[in-house]
């Protein structure tokens, strides 16, 4: 058996595209450590694995949904950064870059406010969700029958008549 899908490899080109378009730092949501300076963008899996077909294991095609959020002190800054990030993923250059990585953006929600109410509002959050389709490289280690013998008759391995 080979390993499972590498989600880090899936997010690497997406993070690169967003960072290039916005100039903002892109971090994991709920990361441990000091919060970066504003504006910044976070990402997190919503539904990382949703099978497209039933009973397929080898080279399975599946969908993965992710939340992308822009944080800023000012509501308009958060909105502008989020909108820039969203548009960056719909460009022709992004389509080619993601296609080269075997990633297909199949849907993107509209940007919307995702502010969390605090007693004193110190930051604003605006985000959108992306839905991707990818193909896993997983291969099951299946035992194969290399030869078959029945009543002293050997069936050749490459017998196309059987």
Examine residue 136 and state whether it is found in any structural domain, yes or no: yes
C-alpha span between 158 and 88 (Å, rounded): 51
For residue 94, the surrounding DSSP H or E stretch is helix 92-100
Examine residue 104 and state whether it is found in any structural domain, yes or no: yes
Examine residue 61 and state whether it is found in any structural domain, yes or no: yes
Q: Which domain holds residue 60?
A: 7-155
Q: How many domains does the structure of the chain reveal?
A: 1
Examine residue 113 and state whether it is found in any structural domain, yes or no: yes
Examine residue 161 and state whether it is found in any structural domain, yes or no: no
**Is 66 within 8 Å of 83 (Cβ atoms)?**
no
* CA distances, 68 to each of 120, 142, 147 (Å): 24, 39, 53
Which pLDDT score is estimated for 160?
Answer: 58
* pLDDT one-digit tens code per residue, 86-101: 999 999 999 999 999 9
Can you give the CATH number for the domain in which 151 is found? 3.30.2000.10
Q: How sure is the predictor about 1, in pLDDT bands with cuts at 50, 70 and 90? A: very low
Examine residue 162 and state whether it is found in any structural domain, yes or no: no
For residue 27, the 8-state DSSP code is: E
End-to-end CA distance of the chain: 29
Mean pLDDT of 70-74: 94
Higher pLDDT, 119 or 153: 153
Q: For residue 50, what are the β-bridge partners?
A: 63
């Amino acid at each position: 058996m080979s390993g499972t899908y590498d989600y880090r490899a899936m997010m690497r080109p997406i993070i690169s595209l967003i960072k290039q378009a916005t100039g903002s730092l892109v971090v994991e949501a709920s990361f441990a450590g000091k919060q970066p300076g504003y504006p910044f963008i976070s990402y997190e899996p919503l539904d990382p694995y949703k099978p497209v077909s039933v009973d397929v294991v080898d080279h399975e095609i599946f969908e993965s949904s992710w939340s992308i959020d822009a944080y800023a002190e000012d509501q308009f800054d958060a909105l502008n950064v989020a909108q820039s990030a969203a548009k960056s993923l719909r460009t022709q250059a992004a389509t080619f870059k993601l296609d080269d990585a075997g990633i297909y953006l199949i849907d993107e929600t509209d940007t919307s406010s995702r502010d969390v109410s605090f007693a004193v509002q110190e930051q604003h959050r605006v985000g959108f969700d992306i839905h991707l389709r990818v193909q896993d490289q997983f291969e099951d280690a299946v035992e194969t029958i290399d030869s078959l013998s029945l009543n002293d008759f050997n069936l050749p391995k490459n017998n196309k008549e059987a």
